[in-house]
């Protein structure tokens, strides 16, 4: 048995990362300083979006997106059951209702044909928006989603937590990076340590829409405006004589404190420099798994090797999933299951969702297992994982 536990995902922190955090800790700003904008600009540049807003985590990013798009009580929003619960929860934070649509069993992504059928079978205006998820790092074809969204007047929040560096090829043959804002109104990312870029906790919203961008900046920090041009109270009420006093600010909407700190932004910025190398390594690892498992019919995987896959997760489906999970665990290998379908969470069952609602998602859940996938996974470690799996299979 190997001595070091092998998790399904883990962060990679270099000396350079550590130094970048130490530098900020020794400086003047622990938060609300210059690292935030540097990280935002570098991230927008990496993804190819016009704007980026750094926030405290991916869930906060989703919440702010739902607020910026005015999700209200009674509004219905579509998402997939195979995702982290936060993709749906952000709608509930604003009082909206979540409508799940089953996955495509070949890609594990929300089934766009089924979304289309749902929209066609409901009066126009029934749904306000859709939250497609680039699950496991495989990009949703947002051009197709946008076609439906335009026809049915839906906004799109792309949950790209698994897919910084991922892309799909559009109908013109062009690469469309996940989160680049060409099709979705807003996209979100997470910098939790299991994701591609780690900042401890952290998140980012990307968009090409200036108005949404400006609103997000306010919502991130209590709804406060600090900009003479946009004050609505008079100078006199503010306590000034012929200009607004230096201390003055206005809270113009109900916002939150969803800020990222400067030392987290510095870590994210330092990690971002290695993002391309990380993706390359993830794709190498995926190729080795693909080759090893192509020899057996006992293992199913996501169909079609996809160019733009960001491989946050490497998932296989096996019949005795529980057996394999426990066998790997007894060998110090900690695979994980992504995800327990959100509609089966006790919280969501109160809205009437139940077993049998989404057969593809439920079948997938009964067989899926996420294998170790992170840039520092060594060849020796991966070979051990592979041989244990092949040994275990009947
Ligand atoms: C991680 C994750 C989130 C939430 O991000 P946090 O930073 O953990 O709040 C949302 N959606 C998906 C798909 C995720 O993987």
What are the residue ranges spanned by the domains of the chain?
15-272, 275-392
Torsions phi, psi of 108, nearest 5? 70, 5
Please name the residue that has the structure tokens 């066609």. Answer: 120
Measured distance CA(316)–CA(236) in Å, rounded: 66
Distance CA 180, CA 156 (A): 13
Query: 159 CA to middle of ligand 1, Å?
Result: 8
User: The whole model's pTM is what?
Assistant: 0.97
15-272 and 275-392 have identical folds = no
- Ligand 1 neighbourhood includes 161 CB (under 6 angstroms): yes
pLDDT tens digit sequence for 89-120: 999 999 999 999 999 999 999 999 999 999 99
Hunting for tokens 């997939």 — which residue is that?
Answer: 80
Average pLDDT, the chain: 96
C-alpha–C-alpha distance, residues 266 and 20, integer Å = 6
Q: Whose CA is nearest to atom 3 of ligand 1?
A: 58
Atom of ligand 1 nearest to the CA of 192: 7
Sign of the torsion formed by the C-alpha atoms of 65, 69, 73 and 78: negative
Task: Supply the DSSP symbol for 52.
Answer: E
Whether the pLDDT of residue 304 is over 70: the answer is no
Ligand 1 centroid from CA 84, angstroms: 6
What is the gyration radius of the CA atoms in the chain, in angstroms? 22
Q: The tokens 């197709």 sit on which residue? A: 144
pLDDT in tens, 144-188: 999 999 999 999 999 999 999 999 999 999 999 999 999 999 999
Could you please report the per-residue DSSP string of 153-222?
A: T-EEEEE-TT-TT-EEE-TTS-EEETT-SSS-SEEEEE--TTSSS--SS-EEEEES-HHHHHHHHHHHBT
Select from 9, 56, 62, 86 the residue to mutate for testing ligand 1; criterion: most ligand atoms less than 8 Å from CB: 86
Q: What is the CATH number of domain 275-392?
A: 3.90.1150.10
CB of 206 closer than 6 A to ligand 1?
A: no
133 lines ligand 1 (CB under 6 A): yes
pLDDT interval class at 190 (50, 70, 90): very high
What's the token pair of residue 331?
A: 């060998």
What is the position in ligand 1's atom list of the atom closest to the CA of 86? 10
Rounded to whole angstroms, the Cα distance separating 220 from 140 reads: 27
Index of the ligand 1 atom closest to the CA of residue 83: 13
Which pLDDT score, from 0 to 100, does residue 302 have? 79
- CATH class for the region spanning 15-272: alpha beta
84 lines ligand 1 (CB under 6 A): yes
Which tops the pLDDT comparison, 158 or 307? 158
Q: Under DSSP, is residue 224 helix (H, G, I), strand (E, B) or coil?
A: strand
């Amino acid at each position: 048995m190997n001595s070091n536990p092998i998790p399904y995902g883990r962060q990679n922190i270099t000396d350079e990362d550590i130094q970048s955090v130490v530098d900020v800790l020794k400086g003047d700003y622990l938060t609300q300083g210059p690292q935030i904008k540097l990280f935002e600009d570098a991230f927008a540049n990496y993804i190819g979006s016009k704007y980026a807003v750094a926030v405290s985590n991916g869930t906060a990013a989703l919440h702010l997106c739902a607020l910026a798009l005015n999700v209200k009580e009674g509004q219905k929003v579509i998402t997939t059951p195979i995702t982290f619960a936060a993709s749906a929860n952000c709608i509930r934070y604003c009082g909206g209702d979540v409508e799940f649509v089953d996955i495509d069993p070949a890609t594990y992504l929300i089934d766009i044909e089924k979304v289309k059928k749902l929209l066609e079978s409901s009066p126009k205006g029934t749904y306000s928006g859709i939250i497609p998820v680039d699950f496991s790092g495989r990009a949703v074809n947002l051009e197709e989603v946008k076609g439906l969204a335009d026809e049915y007047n839906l906004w799109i929040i792309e949950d790209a937590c698994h897919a910084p560096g991922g892309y799909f090829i559009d109908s013109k043959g062009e690469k469309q990076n996940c989160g680049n804002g060409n099709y979705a109104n807003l996209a979100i990312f997470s910098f939790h340590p299991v994701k591609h870029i780690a900042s401890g906790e952290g998140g980012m919203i990307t968009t090409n829409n200036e108005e949404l961008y400006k609103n997000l900046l306010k919502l991130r920090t209590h709804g406060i405006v600090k900009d003479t041009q946009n004050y609505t109270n008079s100078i006199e009420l503010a306590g000034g004589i012929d200009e607004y006093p230096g201390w003055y600010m206005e809270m113009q909407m109900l916002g939150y404190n969803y800020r990222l700190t400067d030392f987290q932004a510095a870590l994210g910025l330092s990690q971002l420099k290695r993002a391309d190398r990380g993706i390359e390594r993830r794709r190498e690892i995926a190729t080795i798994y693909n080759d090893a498992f192509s020899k057996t019919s006992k293992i199913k995987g996501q169909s079609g090797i996809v160019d733009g896959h960001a491989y946050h997760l490497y998932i296989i489906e096996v019949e005795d999933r529980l057996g394999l999970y426990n066998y790997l665990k007894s060998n110090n290998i900690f695979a994980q299951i992504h995800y327990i379908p959100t509609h089966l969470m006790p919280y969501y069952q109160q809205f009437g969702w139940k077993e049998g609602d989404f057969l593809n998602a439920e079948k997938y859940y009964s067989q899926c297992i996420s294998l170790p996938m992170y840039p520092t996974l060594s060849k020796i470690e991966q070979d051990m994982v592979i041989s244990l799996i092949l040994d275990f299979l009947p």
